[in-house]
Amino acid sequence: MKRFVINENQRGILFKDGKLEKLLTAGSYKFWRQREVEILPIDTYLNSSKCSLDTLLANEEVRNAVNVYEVPAGHYGMRFVNGIGTNFYKEGRYVYFKTDATEELVLFDTSKVMIEDVAPQIMARIPAIYYQKVSVDAYQKALLYLDNQLVKVLEPGVYYFWKNSVSVTTRVVDTRLQRMDIACQEILTQDKVNVRINFVCNYRVTDAVKAVSEVDSYEEQIRLCAQLAMRDYVSKYKLDEILENKDAISKYVFDKLVEKEESLSVSFSDAGVKDIVLPGEIRAIMNTVLMAEKKAQASVIARREEVASTRSLLNTAKLMDENATLYKLKELEYLERICEKVDTLNLSGGSSAITDLVSILKNPKTN
């Protein structure tokens, strides 16, 4: 005889001469050698290596001891044990041994492409190969296409879609205020000078559906509109006029962009010229002209200062000529400056020191 031990988390299927005879619960069993026992776990779906599932279910003992879950075509299923999703199933039949736990099968209809009313924690238990996840940020709107047909606009949030025969695509549109840098190609001014103008504008999409569905790349349309407006303006003016009126270019291009707001489904807040790039030889000429102008300005300022200094000296001389005391004070001021640079000064005679100093300074060869 053979002895078999079946644990609490197991069940046994007894076969006699290869035929299913009965279901065995937990316990210790002894059988003659012509009988075989297949021990199966109860925490996985029923699958015997010795007979088919239909044969197992045909046995009344087995049928009463199991739960049978059917997932029909066009559906997925999830088995919940005590309220917790444990197994996810595709179309088919799944059989589990009954336990003391509360079990339930929840079906998901995959003919409805968009998954609604399913908690994120449940979606986390479904393998990602069966669904498509779309995240829409707070500053975005997403256009949902089913089989290339626009069906709705998705507001900010997280969305799930079953992967089936229906093609699911989305187009995300940023609704924030955006900046566009526009590098223009070479443009000829009225006096035949090639210039390049780098432009910048700030815009916001106002209607996501129209901007995507009715306009072939609204970003490129904005760029093209700005470039054409700059070409139109630059061709009418000479280089000097353009350089002196950069604000006029900005206003002209901005006004042209505003005219396109409704057709492009965007709104412009501001726009302006970043810089004007000149050819190398033109820059060299302008630098030469600028240096000449600055030198001329410096020369004028130097002459003006020289005239002012001379006029000041003349006025001082007139005052000293008219006022002897002032003349004497000026002499004393200069004597003070000289004495500051002399270490020792020897004077002799009965005259005053100041008179002797003045005499020395006036007649240095006689002293």
User: For 33-54, how does the pLDDT look when each residue is reduced to its tens digit (9 = 90+)?
Assistant: 778 888 999 888 888 888 998 9
Distance CA 299, CA 277 (A): 31
190 and 259 inside one domain? yes
Three-state SS at 112: coil
Cα dihedral 217/218/221/223 (nearest 10): -110
Domain range for 217: 178-275
For the beta carbon of residue 345, count every other beta carbon within 10 angstroms: 11
Check which CATH number belongs to the domain holding 218 and give it: 3.30.479.30
* 86 falls within a domain: no
Quick one: pLDDT at residue 157? 93
Residue with tokens 């199991």: 66
Quick one: pLDDT at residue 140? 92
* 183 falls within a domain: yes
189 and 265 inside one domain? yes
> Residue 178: which of 203, 195, 211, 151 has the closest Cα?
203
Strand partners, 133: 160
Quick one: pLDDT at residue 289? 63
- Positions of the chain with pLDDT lower than 50, given as ranges: 350, 366-367
**pTM of the complete model:** 0.65
201 and 159 inside one domain? no
Strand partners, 30: 3
Boundary-marking domain end, from 275, 290, 311: 275
* 198 falls within a domain: yes
* 107 falls within a domain: no
* 109 falls within a domain: no
Quick one: pLDDT at residue 109? 92
* 13 falls within a domain: yes
Element (H, E) at 262: helix 261-264
246-251, long-range: CB < 8 A, 24+ apart: 246/273, 246/276, 249/197, 249/273
Quick one: pLDDT at residue 258? 94
CA distances to 6, 76, 160, 162, 264 from 111, in Å: 44, 10, 14, 8, 36
CA distances to 288, 290, 297, 306 from 302, in Å: 21, 18, 9, 6
The domain total for the chain is: 5
* 116 falls within a domain: no
* 334 falls within a domain: yes
Quick one: pLDDT at residue 197? 87
Boundary-marking domain end, from 101, 134, 150: 101
Distance CA 218, CA 178 (A): 13
Q: Quick one: how far is CA 276 from the chain centroid?
A: 28
329 and 318 inside one domain? no
286 and 257 inside one domain? no
Quick one: pLDDT at residue 343? 64
Three-state SS at 317: helix
Joined together, the tokens standing for residue 158 give 């997280």
20 and 70 inside one domain? yes
Distance CA 188, CA 234 (A): 7
Backbone angles phi and psi of 334, in degrees to 5: -70, -40
First CA to last CA distance, the chain = 152
